[in-house]
Amino acid sequence: MQGRINHASFDTLIIGGGIAGCEAALNLANNEFKVLLVEKDLSIGGKMILLSKVFPTLDCSACITTPKVSEVSRHPGIMLFTGSEVKKIVRIAYNNFDATVVKNPRYVIAEDCTGCQLCEEACPVIVRDQYQMDLVGRKAAYIPFIIASPRIAAIDIENCTLCGACEKVCPTNCIDFTQEPEEYQVTVKTVVLATGFKLFDPLMMPRYGYGLYKNVITSMQMERQLAPTRPFNTILRPGDGKVPDKIAYVLCTGSRDATVENPICSQICCMYSIKQAQLLMGALPMADVTIYYINIRSFGKGFEEFYEQAKGMGVNFIKGKIGRISEKENGNMMLRYEDINKGIVKESEHDMVVLSVGVLANQDTATFFSNDELKLDPFKFVYQVDSFASPARTSIDGVFVAGTASGPMDIPDSILSAGAASSEAIGYLIQKQ
Ligand code: SF4
Ligand code: SF4
């Protein structure tokens, strides 16, 4: 690889700039420790910054996330690398690691970009917008999303035709197609793994028809339709743009299901589906919303009351696992399911189906370390060596885990876990000084 080699040292390397990574970074930096935060995406904030509201309080998710991410971006004790990846971590002494970090090119000089979006307006290439979960398009020159942090344009070089339209309009001449990956060698004393989770890919369950039927969408696609920064001004089914009257949720899509090798509960799907159902009742007061479930696991503070509230609002709950989804000529979906309480197989028709997809481990985490073994649990999440007394400790001394890298959890638990990881890292740093 071409590119400059740069050297620097930090107290802690945090991998992952979602809500857990940001929380851990702020805790460490506010205690005078030098932090390098590496995020592979173009913006920090993780999945939380893209959500509509949080359960069970229905507070605006972005309103909670944005002050935190902007504090991370501006904090003098935090060096932030977005669009960057950790390639290798090697232990060089008992409390020192050498990390190789690669900053991928944005093809925009970050310091000079004003975020004016003129390049975006001028660019003629339209591709699917991954931040809007492919519901709409974006340009090849783009700001990732409206509240991205940092708010800097990037060129999607895989789809760019090099037509030069963006360069012509950029007022600061900051588009630079000559950029190359830059490699950094950094020395760190501790590492916090905040690499988060992956969403289950419903293409793995062809019987639900995702990818085949346009009106079967994922819960993340519905989340974007409900968010303040949503792509449309209302809820639309993708097949024909109709406002749906009858919406079905299929819980445990890819969770508690050994046939797709994910037998564990994803812990958040029941509650985010109940939240979305409540928001839908607000957005589309005439619509019917039905949730098909195996069990409702409303275990957290205020969760059971939130579930009861949804029932009181008129959300239908049917205990039944969906066997198959098929499409009618008018684009409606037929759901075949067992009504578990009645012990009979039934069919029902809905305008639109939302698959409440589960949580999978981000397996990249284990590949970082070259002369230490990072142990994983049987479900490929980071193994917590002492999950009761010291839940942030991993199998490697000086490496701590924060948030969903250790298993499925909701946002408050992720933030608590990040607090624990940063406290343990601080304790370790003080002890080794
Ligand atoms: S050079 Fe690429 S990014 Fe710029 S306007 Fe043309 S297609 Fe879009
Ligand atoms: S790259 Fe240039 S045109 Fe695009 S947002 Fe930045 S300053 Fe504006």
pLDDT for residue 3 = 40
pLDDT in tens, 107-150: 999 999 999 999 999 999 999 999 999 999 999 999 999 999 99
- Contact between residue 309 and residue 278 where contact means Cβ atoms under 8 Å apart: yes
Per the listing, tokens 């991998």 go with 15
Distance 36 CA to ligand 2 centre (A): 26
What is the percent of the chain with per-residue pLDDT over 70, rounded to a whole number?
99
Average pLDDT over residues 37-46: 97
Q: What does the mean pLDDT of the chain come to? A: 95
Q: Which residues contact 411 (CB under 8 A, 6 or more apart)?
A: 19, 48, 54, 61
| Confidence band for 333, pLDDT divided at 50, 70 and 90 | very high
Question: 144 preceded by cis ω (within 30°)?
Answer: no
Atom of ligand 1 nearest to the CA of 119: 5
Average pLDDT over residues 350-374: 93
pLDDT for residue 295 = 92
Q: What are phi and psi of 150, to 5 degrees?
A: -75, 150
Report residues whose beta carbon is within 6 angstroms of any ligand 1 atom.
122-123, 125, 140-141, 155, 160-166
What is the percent of the chain with per-residue pLDDT over 90, rounded to a whole number?
93
Distance 138 CA to ligand 1 centre (A): 12
pLDDT for residue 406 = 97
| Confidence band for 408, pLDDT divided at 50, 70 and 90 | very high
Average pLDDT over residues 74-78: 97
Question: 56 preceded by cis ω (within 30°)?
Answer: yes
Is 172 close to ligand 2, i.e. is its CB under 6 Å away?
yes
Measured between alpha carbons, how far is 298 from 256 in angstroms, rounded to an integer? 16
- Which residue, by CA, sits nearest to atom 7 of ligand 2? 113
pLDDT for residue 366 = 84
Average pLDDT over residues 319-343: 94
Is 175 close to ligand 2, i.e. is its CB under 6 Å away?
yes
- Residue 13 scores a pLDDT above 90: yes
Average pLDDT over residues 304-322: 95
| Confidence band for 94, pLDDT divided at 50, 70 and 90 | confident
pLDDT in tens, 14-30: 999 999 999 999 999 99
- Residue 5 scores a pLDDT above 60: no
Candidates 118, 155, 156: which one to mutate for ligand 2, based on the most atoms within 8 Å of Cβ? 118
By 3-state DSSP, what share of the chain in percent is helix, strand and coil, each rounded to 5?
25, 30, 45
pLDDT for residue 93 = 84
pLDDT in tens, 180-199: 999 999 999 999 999 999 99
Q: What is the pTM of this model?
A: 0.95
pLDDT for residue 313 = 95
Residue 346 backbone class (left: φ over 0; alpha: ψ -120 to 50; beta: rest)? beta
Candidates 113, 155, 176: which one to mutate for ligand 1, based on the most atoms within 8 Å of Cβ? 155
- Contact between residue 185 and residue 100 where contact means Cβ atoms under 8 Å apart: yes
- Which residue, by CA, sits nearest to atom 8 of ligand 1? 123
Average pLDDT over residues 367-391: 94
- Contact between residue 68 and residue 22 where contact means Cβ atoms under 8 Å apart: yes
pLDDT in tens, 138-183: 999 999 999 999 999 999 999 999 999 999 999 999 999 999 999 9
- Residue 250 scores a pLDDT above 70: yes
- CA 280 to chain centroid: 22
- Which residue, by CA, sits nearest to atom 4 of ligand 1? 166
pLDDT for residue 2 = 37
pLDDT for residue 433 = 73
- Residue 1 scores a pLDDT above 50: no
- Which residue, by CA, sits nearest to atom 2 of ligand 2? 170
Strands 182-193 and 352-357: unpaired
pLDDT in tens, 258-288: 999 999 999 999 999 999 999 999 999 999 9
pLDDT for residue 200 = 96
Average pLDDT over residues 316-338: 95
Distance 164 CA to ligand 2 centre (A): 13
- Which residue, by CA, sits nearest to atom 6 of ligand 2? 113
pLDDT for residue 432 = 80
- Shortest-distance ligand to the CA of residue 170: 2
Q: In whole angstroms, how far apart are CA 387 and each of 334, 395, 396?
A: 44, 12, 14
Q: How many residues does the chain have?
A: 433
Atom of ligand 2 nearest to the CA of 117: 5
pLDDT for residue 363 = 87
pLDDT: which is higher, 99 or 365 = 99
Per the listing, tokens 């890298």 go with 405
Distance 257 CA to ligand 2 centre (A): 46
